[in-house]
């Protein structure tokens, strides 16, 4: 049999690699990634590594540590540049690589993740995004120089964590969000307001409901200020742009795969015969929620990487069809001394019911209700409660048993 090719050597790709090898595939297993070193585990990049608490080499994910046992042909510094639209034969597709070679692959895992969005005309110095270890170390170096003010643009989870970490370093921080509340994409107003208040209590200057017009630079090209859409100008020595990511799919243009908010898969993570996708790059209909979703979360990258690996083994007649991928997605975020966790798939229009603690105490559990369904659980410093609710939601999304956990 010809080779299997895993494209992207981060969380989803390496988890799929492990699954393929441990599931019985014993042929050539090639893994490519343009990163010159194995990509890091990303959550510590906005937390422990950025704060200086950890050295960079501690941010390694567990599959990376197991790689030497897997007999993998790992090609770092090499990107996939194109997937041929026409198969070579019924089983094989050619993938062009950035080193000029190409691989005739009998099976492909697309795990190319996502890349940060940028603002237009960013000055060349003092402006950062946060995705890679290099991004993190460059930002950390700027923070170590004790800038007068850090401006964080975007109050999503990455922006909010960066703001918290900068405050932990004793820096002055302004956090700007164009939406009326932080995390507006995922949380309804009252929980977004809680996040804004949490940051204000820790000394962050939070500006909501106003967009950024331009980043202004000094004569040396270093950012100097942020001009807002309402005309306000905020002095800035360092700017962090946290305005979301775009799935890394440009290289698949013309491949014949459906590209629609990432690589569109079927319920089982199959994008085309013998091609699966997983992690931040994959969108798929999750039958549990009756919704097409793309999930940018750590645990999803692991679970979907494993599922996609099993699905590819089934395509190769090396394993059982794993069925639909139907998780209750879950993530955490650390901000100050609060551990924020959410499981499920809420929408801003769901009813929010506080079932434990209170927002005022900064320790609570909220359930999201849509009709007779519980769509999500959100907890602050309540990890056990969130996990119990999530496990109940895995059994069923019916409101009554989930709410019943909280008497």
Tell me which DSSP letter residue 85 carries. S
The token duo for 315 is 């395509």
Residue 10 within binding range of ligand FAD, rule CB under 6 A: yes
DSSP, collapsed to helix, strand or coil, labels residue 332 as: strand
Sign of CA dihedral 52, 53, 57, 60: negative
**Could you tell me which stretch among 38-46, 64-72, 312-320, 382-390 binds ligand FAD (CB under 6 A)?**
38-46
Task: Considering the complex, state which of residue 47 and residue 224 has its C-beta at the smaller distance from ligand FAD.
Answer: 47
Q: State the nearest-atom distance from the C-beta of 57 to ligand FAD, in Å.
A: 17
Task: Considering the complex, state which of residue 62 and residue 396 has its C-beta at the smaller distance from ligand FAD.
Answer: 62
Residue 8 within binding range of ligand FAD, rule CB under 6 A: yes
Residue whose C-alpha is closest to residue 266's, from 284, 278, 282: 284
Task: Considering the complex, state which of residue 62 and residue 148 has its C-beta at the smaller distance from ligand FAD.
Answer: 62
**399 near 373, Cβ under 8 Å?**
yes
The token duo for 143 is 């923070």
**336 near 354, Cβ under 8 Å?**
no
Report the distance separating Cα 350 and Cα 367, nearest Å: 9
Give φ, ψ of 209 to 5 degrees: 75, 20
**Could you tell me which stretch among 43-51, 308-316, 359-367, 371-379 binds ligand FAD (CB under 6 A)?**
43-51
Task: Considering the complex, state which of residue 113 and residue 192 has its C-beta at the smaller distance from ligand FAD.
Answer: 113
Report the distance separating Cα 407 and Cα 403, nearest Å: 7
Contacts of 159 (CB under 8 A, 6+ apart): 152, 153, 175, 177, 182, 240, 242
Q: State the nearest-atom distance from the C-beta of 202 to ligand FAD, in Å.
A: 18
Residue whose C-alpha is closest to residue 377's, from 401, 403, 358: 403
Tell me the number of residues near ligand FAD by CB under 6 A: 37
Which of 5, 108, 158, 355 is close enough to bind ligand FAD by CB under 6 A?
158
Report the distance separating Cα 56 and Cα 36, nearest Å: 15
Which of 130, 240, 276, 328 is close enough to bind ligand FAD by CB under 6 A?
130
Q: Within 10 Å of residue 57's Cβ, how many Cβ atoms?
A: 10
Residue 112 within binding range of ligand FAD, rule CB under 6 A: yes
Report the distance separating Cα 11 and Cα 45, nearest Å: 14
**7 near 110, Cβ under 8 Å?**
yes
Q: State the nearest-atom distance from the C-beta of 5 to ligand FAD, in Å.
A: 10
Which of 34, 156, 188, 309 is close enough to bind ligand FAD by CB under 6 A?
34
Task: Considering the complex, state which of residue 59 and residue 365 has its C-beta at the smaller distance from ligand FAD.
Answer: 59
Q: State the nearest-atom distance from the C-beta of 399 to ligand FAD, in Å.
A: 25
Percentage helix, strand, coil for the chain under 3-state DSSP, each rounded to 5: 30, 30, 40
**Could you tell me which stretch among 112-120, 306-314, 352-360, 365-373 binds ligand FAD (CB under 6 A)?**
112-120
Report the distance separating Cα 71 and Cα 48, nearest Å: 31
Residue 33 within binding range of ligand FAD, rule CB under 6 A: yes
**Could you tell me which stretch among 29-37, 147-155, 196-204, 379-387 binds ligand FAD (CB under 6 A)?**
29-37
Q: State the nearest-atom distance from the C-beta of 322 to ligand FAD, in Å.
A: 18
Task: Considering the complex, state which of residue 85 and residue 229 has its C-beta at the smaller distance from ligand FAD.
Answer: 85
Find the radius of gyration of the CA atoms of the chain.
22
Residue 279 within binding range of ligand FAD, rule CB under 6 A: yes
Q: State the nearest-atom distance from the C-beta of 209 to ligand FAD, in Å.
A: 25
Residue 248 within binding range of ligand FAD, rule CB under 6 A: yes
Residue 111 within binding range of ligand FAD, rule CB under 6 A: yes
**181 near 200, Cβ under 8 Å?**
no
Task: Considering the complex, state which of residue 111 and residue 217 has its C-beta at the smaller distance from ligand FAD.
Answer: 111
- Of how many residues is the chain composed? 407
Which of 4, 5, 11, 198 is close enough to bind ligand FAD by CB under 6 A?
11
Chain positions 292 to 351 lying near ligand FAD, rule: CB under 6 A, are 296-299, 301, 331-333
Q: Taking the chain, what is the end-to-end CA distance rounded to the nearest angstrom?
A: 57
Residue 227 within binding range of ligand FAD, rule CB under 6 A: no
In the complex, the residues that contact ligand FAD under the rule CB under 6 A are 7-13, 32-35, 39, 42-43, 45-46, 79-80, 111-114, 130-131, 158, 248, 251, 279-280, 296-299, 301, 331-333
């Amino acid at each position: 049999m010809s080779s299997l090719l895993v494209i992207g050597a981060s969380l989803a790709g390496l988890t799929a690699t492990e699954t393929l090898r441990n599931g019985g595939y014993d042929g050539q297993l090639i893994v490519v990634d343009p990163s010159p070193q194995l990509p890091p585990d990303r959550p510590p990049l906005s937390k422990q590594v950025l704060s200086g608490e950890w050295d960079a080499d501690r941010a390694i994910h567990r599959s990376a540590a197991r790689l030497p046992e897997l007999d993998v042909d790992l090609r770092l510094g090499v990107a996939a540049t194109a997937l041929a639209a026409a198969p070579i034969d019924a089983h094989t597709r050619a993938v062009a690589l950035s080193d000029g070679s190409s691989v005739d692959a009998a099976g492909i895992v697309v795990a190319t993740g996502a890349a940060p969005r940028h603002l237009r005309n960013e000055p060349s110095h003092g402006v950062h995004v946060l995705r890679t270890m290099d991004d993190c170390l460059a930002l950390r170096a700027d923070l170590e120089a004790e800038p007068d003010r850090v401006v964080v643009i975007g109050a999503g989870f990455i922006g909010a964590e960066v703001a918290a970490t900068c405050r932990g370093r004793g820096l002055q921080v302004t956090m700007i969000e164009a939406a009326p509340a932080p995390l507006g994409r995922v949380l309804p107003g009252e929980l977004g307001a809680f996040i804004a208040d949490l940051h204000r209590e820790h000394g962050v200057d939070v500006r909501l409901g106003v967009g950024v017009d331009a980043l202004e630079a000094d004569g040396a090209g270093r950012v100097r200020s942020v001009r807002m859409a309402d005309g306000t100008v905020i002095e800035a020595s360092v700017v962090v742009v946290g305005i979301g990511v775009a799935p890394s799919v440009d290289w698949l243009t013309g491949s014949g795969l459906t590209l629609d908010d990432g690589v569109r898969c079927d319920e089982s993570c199959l994008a085309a015969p013998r091609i699966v996708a997983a992690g931040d790059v994959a969108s798929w209909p999750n039958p549990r929620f009756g919704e097409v979703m793309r999930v940018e979360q750590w645990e999803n990258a692991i679970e979907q990487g494993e599922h996609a690996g099993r699905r590819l083994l089934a395509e190769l007649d090396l394993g059982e069809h794993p069925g639909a991928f139907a998780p209750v997605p879950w993530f955490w975020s650390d901000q100050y001394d609060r551990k924020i966790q959410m499981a499920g798939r809420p929408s801003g229009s769901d009813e929010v019911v506080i079932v434990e603690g209170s927002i005022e105490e900064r320790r609570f559990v909220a359930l999201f209700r849509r009709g007779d369904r519980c769509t999500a659980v959100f907890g602050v410093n309540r990890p056990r409660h969130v996990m119990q609710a999530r496990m109940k939601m895995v059994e069923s999304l019916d409101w009554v048993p989930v709410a019943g956990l909280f008497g």
